[in-house]
Structure 1
Amino acid sequence: MSVGHKIRAIRDLRGMTQKELGIKVGFSAATADVRIRQYESHKMIPKEDKLKEIAAALDVDVSALKDHDIYSDLDLMQILFELEENHGLVIEKEADRYVLSFDESHPLFRYTNYKLDSWYRAKSQLLSNSEDSGYDDKEYLLWKYRFPLDTMKIEKTNAAKVREKYKPFLNNTYSIKKVNEFILLFEKLIRNGFDIQIASAPERSGIGTFVCCAIFKHSELLEATGEAANAYAEYLSMISYLEKSGIEIERETNSFDGETLLGVYFYSSVLSTALNHTVREIMVAHKAGALDDKIMQIQYKDSLQTFNVPIEK
């Protein structure tokens, strides 16, 4: 669908006239309908800045208005080929059906999975419950045109709730010198019941730099009290100290399985290595109820000794 067709389709969904949209975009009342008509009839193509203004006026994401150049089955095939080469798309045949999925080992799989999960949940809610809830195809279409705005709004709201809860408990005098101290703090978090996810991030890693991410569920962070809440506040203080010490850290918020996930990427090879190996081993042992077993403790002490080194910037 062309840019003009998309503008018209969304304008119709919004119940707006060409003149109303044009005025909202900033055109004069005398020319508003003419300018929008020119875009919708393909006589003019809006430039990027104007396209953003139209998207804002229609309350959708600007990506929904862009032309993705699928005019034939051959165009579609070339896009699928590109997805295979760059995003890990896999084609398989089950009985008489061809099934498309994404390779879990691909560096971008996690992000693709997040987006697919949001799509599946929105479609399930907005279409399957339409008779009971009053939602219909229009609501689902608008969700797609707005994507990822609605998802991002939920993520930002939940992340803000977590920041608000822990802000009063941050320790501005916190310090950390050795990598094994980093590991011990994660052990404290794990023992306090946090279901932490560890994800390597080859897409963020560069030459000589290994990047890993620690991911928490916002619901667990909001429910945490006592020692658990104190442990997470200590974790946040540690992140703040590492940033002030010159360690590059990136925060990220995503949605998956009905949860808001709060992740932190550590752009330090030694910290990321400790996270990806020792902390991951602690998590596995804790879930198996073997963290305090004699053999595990011997191995753990060896790991702590190995990482008894200064944190590298």
Structure 2
Amino acid sequence: MAIGQRIKYFRNRIGMTQKQLGEKLGFKGKTSDVRMAQYESEARVPKIDLVKEMAQIFDVDARAITVPNIDTYVGLMHTLFALEDMYGLKITNVEGEPYLCLDRSISAPGSSADEMLRAWMQQADKLKNGEISKEEYDEWRYKYPALDTYQKRVKVPSQELSDYFVQELSKKK
């Protein structure tokens, strides 16, 4: 899905009109719904700061809004090809059906990609088994990785925070 479609999807998911969202983002008067319509139709592309504000309003991770453009099957295929090149995604034949999996020689068990896919599989299994609702599953996906309890990752400080600490430590020397 392209960014405009994602914005519209998440806006509708929380029951907001284009005008309401535009006003909440600080656009005034008639420009509020016009601007949102431009973003949703992709006549304009929002800057990253605006995407982050939308993510806060939608209560999702900003990356959930800015996923690659896969609004056509050809776009989807090229996204899958890129994932093959970058992360070792492979297509394999299982009883005549195509299955996607990680190439174990590139992405060994315990790797970040393997762990992330296992976390997703765990949530999908919980949904399938009725342990969580569709809403809980969607919340996990759209806030990923914030709600991921499968992995034991360390949070890395932002570049700005890291730069600040380096600057402050340099002053003390």
TM-score (norm 1): 0.43
Q: State the shift of 1:111 in Å.
A: 0.6
Q: Aligned pairs, how many? A: 154
Give the match for residue 123 of structure 1. Answer: 124
Residue 96 (structure 1) aligned with residue 87 (structure 2): no
2:46 maps to a residue whose letter is P
The Cα offsets for residues 203-247 of structure 1, whole Å up to 9 and x where unpaired, read as: xxxxxxxxxxxxxxxxxxxxxxxxxxxxxxxxxxxxxxxxxxxxx
Task: Within 5 Å, give how 1:126-141 maps onto structure 2.
Answer: 126-129=127-130, 135-136=133-134, 138-141=135-138
Residue 82 (structure 1) aligned with residue 82 (structure 2): yes
- What CA distance in whole angstroms lies between the structure 1 residues aligned with 2:37 and 2:138? 22
Identity of aligned residues (%): 34
Secondary structure at 2:147's aligned position in 1?
helix
- What CA distance in whole angstroms lies between the structure 2 residues aligned with 1:102 and 1:126? 23
1:22 maps to a residue whose letter is G
Secondary structure at 1:149's aligned position in 2?
coil
CA pair 102-7 structure 1, distance change in 2 beyond 3 A:
same
- What CA distance in whole angstroms lies between the structure 2 residues aligned with 1:19 and 1:89? 41
- What CA distance in whole angstroms lies between the structure 2 residues aligned with 1:54 and 1:261? 26
Q: State the shift of 1:4 in Å.
A: 1.4
The Cα offsets for residues 269-297 of structure 1, whole Å up to 9 and x where unpaired, read as: xxxxxxxxxxxxxxxxxxxxxxxxxxxxx
- What CA distance in whole angstroms lies between the structure 1 residues aligned with 2:153 and 2:143? 21
Q: 1:149 aligns with which of 115, 132, 146?
A: 146
- What CA distance in whole angstroms lies between the structure 2 residues aligned with 1:27 and 1:108? 48
Task: Give the conservation status (yes or no) of the 8 Å contact 2:2–2:70.
Answer: no
- What CA distance in whole angstroms lies between the structure 1 residues aligned with 2:52 and 2:154? 28
CA pair 76-32 structure 1, distance change in 2 beyond 3 A:
closer
Task: Give the conservation status (yes or no) of the 8 Å contact 1:127–1:140.
Answer: no
- Unaligned runs of 5+ residues in structure 1 are 155-254, 264-313
TM-score (norm 2): 0.72
Task: Give the conservation status (yes or no) of the 8 Å contact 1:87–1:108.
Answer: no
Give the alignment's Cα RMSD to 1 decimal: 2.8
1:123 maps to a residue whose letter is A
Task: Within 5 Å, give how 1:235-250 maps onto structure 2.
Answer: none
- What CA distance in whole angstroms lies between the structure 2 residues aligned with 1:75 and 1:30? 34
Task: Within 5 Å, give how 1:199-210 maps onto structure 2.
Answer: none
Residue 18 (structure 1) aligned with residue 15 (structure 2): no
CA pair 72-12 structure 1, distance change in 2 beyond 3 A:
closer
2:112 maps to a residue whose letter is Y
- What CA distance in whole angstroms lies between the structure 2 residues aligned with 1:107 and 1:117? 13
- What CA distance in whole angstroms lies between the structure 2 residues aligned with 1:43 and 1:113? 37
The Cα offsets for residues 81-112 of structure 1, whole Å up to 9 and x where unpaired, read as: 22222212233222212222112232576111
- What CA distance in whole angstroms lies between the structure 2 residues aligned with 1:75 and 1:34? 28
- Unaligned runs of 5+ residues in structure 2 are 156-173
Higher strand content, 1 or 2: 1
- What CA distance in whole angstroms lies between the structure 2 residues aligned with 1:144 and 1:118? 10
- What CA distance in whole angstroms lies between the structure 2 residues aligned with 1:95 and 1:142? 34
CA pair 57-128 structure 1, distance change in 2 beyond 3 A:
same
Secondary structure at 1:150's aligned position in 2?
coil
Secondary structure at 1:27's aligned position in 2?
coil
Runs of 4+ in structure 1 over 4 Å off: none
Secondary structure at 1:69's aligned position in 2?
coil
Q: State the shift of 1:116 in Å.
A: 0.9
Secondary structure at 1:105's aligned position in 2?
coil
